[in-house]
Amino acid sequence: LLYGQDVGKRLGGVFREAATLGDKYGDARVFNTAIQEAYIVGSTVGMSALGLKPIVEVQFADYIYPGFNQLVTEISKSCYLSNGKWPISMVLRVPTGAYGGGGPYHSGSVESTLLTIKGIKVVYPSNAADMKGLMKAAWLDPNPVVMLEHKGLYWSKVPGTEDAKQPEPASDYVLPLGKGLQVVAASNEHIANGDSAVVITYGMGVYWAKAAAAQLQQRIEVIDLRTLYPLDEALVVEAVQRHGKCLVLTEEQQRNSFAEALGYRISKQCFQYLDAPVEVMGALDTPAVPINLISEAAMLPTVPKVVARLQQLLGY
């Protein structure tokens, strides 16, 4: 089952990600709903109770808040409160992130808010292959899973994100939840000389970090978290201990974010290995993403900003 706002066969999602599914599976399995997020999210409780596995979509991350009551009060707690008798198996797809002047109601990032909810899992792929693998893992998981999908990575619409079009490795490819990936390696020589650093990131941040690493001559390792909860802490700790310098990079407004919390955990677990304070870089602390393109670029991290911060970090 796939249902939500405009996902039916007439449109197949505002980003066309479900363009062929309505014709292939019919209106009984792929259909539109009203613009009513509380219903979209809450209906998965009944669907799951009947043995179905719904995949639902809220059209933009900024629209998710009316559905939070159901997500927090019912979906996240059901398995725990029923001692495992009534787990709610559902996948909630949420296009997220800023690009192209989407403005204050179509550009928000909500991962930090979601990650305060105990009892759900949160994934954030950076390319199509990972999205497919994580989607299958989320569907097979008995727990509720929220899948955040950056709008600028659909069709690689943002320059520099062509690698987001990675084909699936196999038709039965499943990417286990909680497994990050090293996507750029630093040279052993720079690591041995203490002249390297690691960037821990996800989503669009992967492409900012990869572009920055290309300018810094094999001195930067990049880790793509892929799953925000459960987190691949072993991979993160190993990478930070290898370099002694770390930047946690996010698109979200930085203050009180998941990235800042992760920075604290890295500092605590890796303190004896650090050669510099753990750095965190996110968007400016504005109430919303501006619609003006110049203002949007000023708010968000960019490749030049990431390069400058890494040069500062490498200077320790």
CA distance 69 to 65: 8
Q: For position 143, what pLDDT does the model report?
A: 94
Q: What domain range is 204 assigned to?
A: 181-314
Which has the minimum average pLDDT: 131-140, 155-164, 296-305? 155-164
C-alpha–C-alpha distance, residues 36 and 291, integer Å: 25
Residue 285 has pLDDT above 90, yes or no: yes
Using CB atoms within 10 A of its CB, is residue 205 exposed (0-12), middle (13-18) or buried (19+)?
buried
pLDDT given at position 133: 97
Is 25 domain-assigned? yes
Kindly name the residue from 106, 150, 190, 243 that is annotated as catalytic: 106
Task: State the pLDDT at residue 11.
Answer: 80
Within this chain, do residues 202 and 158 fall inside the same structural domain, yes or no?
no
Domain's final residue, options 116, 133, 165: 165
Question: What's the pLDDT at 13?
Answer: 78
106 in catalytic set:
yes
The pLDDT confidence band at residue 313, using thresholds 50, 70 and 90, is very high
pLDDT band at residue 299 using 50, 70 and 90 as cut-offs:
very high
Angle (CA) 286-225-78 rounded to 5° is 85
Residue 258 sits at the vertex; the CA angle it makes with 48 and 275, to the nearest 5 degrees, is: 140
What is the signed CA dihedral for 222, 151, 123, 120, rounded to 10 degrees? 150
Segment 19-63, tens digit of pLDDT: 888 888 888 899 999 999 999 999 999 999 999 999 999 999 999
Pairing outcome for strands 197-201 and 246-253: parallel
Q: What is the pLDDT of residue 114?
A: 98
Spatial distance between the Cα atoms of 303 and 151, rounded to a whole number of angstroms: 18
Does 103 share its domain with 190?
A: no
Shared domain for 20 and 158, answered yes or no, is yes
What six digits make up the tokens of 157? 């619409």
DSSP summary character for residue 166:
P
Which tens digits make up the pLDDT trace of 136-152? 999 999 999 999 999 99
Position 89 pLDDT exceeds 90: yes
C-alpha to C-alpha distance for 197 and 204, rounded to whole angstroms: 19
Domains held by the chain: number: 2
Give the tokens for residue 79: 């398995």
**285 SS3 class:** coil
Q: Let me know whether 130 and 193 are in one domain.
A: no
The CATH number covering residue 217 comes to 3.40.50.920
Any domain includes 233: yes
Domain with 36 in it: what CATH number?
3.40.50.970
16 and 155 assigned to the same domain: yes
How many CA atoms lie less than 13 Å away from 311 in the CB half-sphere?
A: 11
Gyration radius from the chain CA atoms: 20
Residue for token pair 């001559």: 217
Last residue of a domain, one of 165, 192, 210: 165
151 and 32 belong to one structural domain: yes
Note if the pTM is more than 0.85. Answer: yes
Say whether pLDDT at 9 is over 90.
no
pLDDT at residue 8 is higher than 90: no
Whether residues 204 and 235 share a domain: the answer is yes
- Mark which of 165, 197, 221 sits at the end of a domain: 165
In a domain, 262, yes or no: yes
Rounded CA-CA distance 188/78 in Å is 48
pLDDT digits (tens, 9 = 90+) for 230-273: 999 999 999 999 999 999 999 999 999 999 999 999 999 999 99
Asked whether 244 and 278 are in contact (CB, 8 A), the reply is: no
- Does pLDDT of 157 surpass 90? no
Mean predicted lDDT score pLDDT of the chain: 95
Nearest CA to 121 out of 83, 164, 177, 165 is that of 177
